[in-house]
Amino acid sequence: MGFPIMTTARDERWVCRGCGGCCRGNLVPLHNDDLQRLRSQHWEKHPEFADHSFLARQGLFSRRYRLAQHGDGTCVFLGKDHLCRIHRDFGFHEKPLVCRMYPMQIVPLEKKAILTLRRSCPAAAAGEGKRIAEYLAEARKYVKIRPLLAEPASPPAIAKKQSLPWSDFIMIAETLADLVNDQKYPLSRRLVHGLCLCNLLEECRLTNLDAGELRELVSFFAKAAKLKAEEMYLNPVDPGTVAGVLLRQAIAAYLRLHPLYGTHESWQERWFLYISAFAFTSGKGSVPALNTAFPEAKFADVEKRIPEPLDHTVQALFNDYFESHLSSKQYAIVNRPGWPLLDKFRSLALAFPVALWMLRYFSGNAPPTKETAIAIITTMDRGQGYAPLTGAHHRQKIASLKSMQALEKLIIWYERGSNF
């Protein structure tokens, strides 16, 4: 590998707690070396795999495989003790590479790669454990095994039909990071700054500018974005009915990724989810309890409830989630393939009002706890790779919210009463 793996200046931390959370609801793709290792372990001789395979095809006609799952979404190798049976019986290094690396995430750029963390791991979401710099040597070993992990591709487009060189892409992504990481403002305001910059950039034909002109324009727009956001905060506007519908539809998808959510594939469950989709669209009556562990609540109560000012610890967890995504460019490079940068940022920003809605829902009338916040952060991070939140249908929702300037309105509306 001809370029370095680095960390950002952020204090990212993680250590494995052995909770088994990564073995629930996550698809684990297998490369040829992973398959060879698993087959050499002869799991087919175990009685529990007599009726079903430990492998599953990644598509109907695909020749690529992933680890199989039970009907509730748990990995077939997750034991009742919440430990991986491959790890227990054969050792850590005999697991698939994806499992060994998690929650480390390598973000490949043009001349370097960034090592960061996936916050779908509760310990990473909590920021507990060893500093990420202590994992650099381990990450470099994984890249030697599989060089493509850190090999840069072409940078994503900035906007539809507007692709720029790596240097210009990085400059715009870092300008967004500077706006979101500006500690002079609360998080909600910083996200709106970023959204305003996205809107201004999308109105221009960026490919007609040279590097100097583009940098000057982006710098000017970043200042203009703060002024536009200030105007929005001085005159907050109800996001409106359509924006509320689109937000709740996104919430319904995110809730299926919550750690408390459990599912068993059945026609009854599919029918229940179908009915629940109508309830989230209407936003009337009771919030469908997608799991018995979910609280009972009315849509009206959740959406009108103004929470207490958030505990500093809770607030810091959400700040870290969004700031780390921007600093590492994880949201821009490894998530939502095929999406342009500006839409990727908008989708990340939409997770903020979704998170506040879930905080109100799961906390009820009590102040949100650290544990509640961590569960919601893991939910948001899982959404970065979840098909219903990464496909064309969700992107159309983002486009509709953008056309109404409703993303900014939703963020401002839902942060009322919190100290974001």
Rounded mean pLDDT for each run of 10 residues along the chain, 420 residues in total: 84 92 86 93 87 82 86 87 91 94 95 95 95 96 90 92 96 98 95 98 95 97 96 90 95 92 68 85 91 90 75 94 97 94 98 95 91 96 91 96 94 73
Please choose, from the candidates 80, 70, 122, the residue with its C-alpha nearest in 3D space to the C-alpha of residue 258: 122
Cα first-last separation, the chain: 41
Q: Count of CB atoms within 10 A of residue 72's CB?
A: 12
Supply the pLDDT for residue 1: 47
Element (H, E) at 104: strand 104-108
Element (H, E) at 100: helix 97-101
For residue 329, what are the contacts with CB-CB under 8 A and spacing of at least 6?
107, 109, 114, 173, 177
pLDDT recorded at residue 14? 96
Look up the pTM and report it: 0.93
Query: What span, in angstroms and rounded, lies between the C-alpha atoms of 221 and 239?
Result: 24
Amino acid 339: pLDDT: 96
For residue 129, give the DSSP letter: S
CB 53 within 8 A of CB 46: no
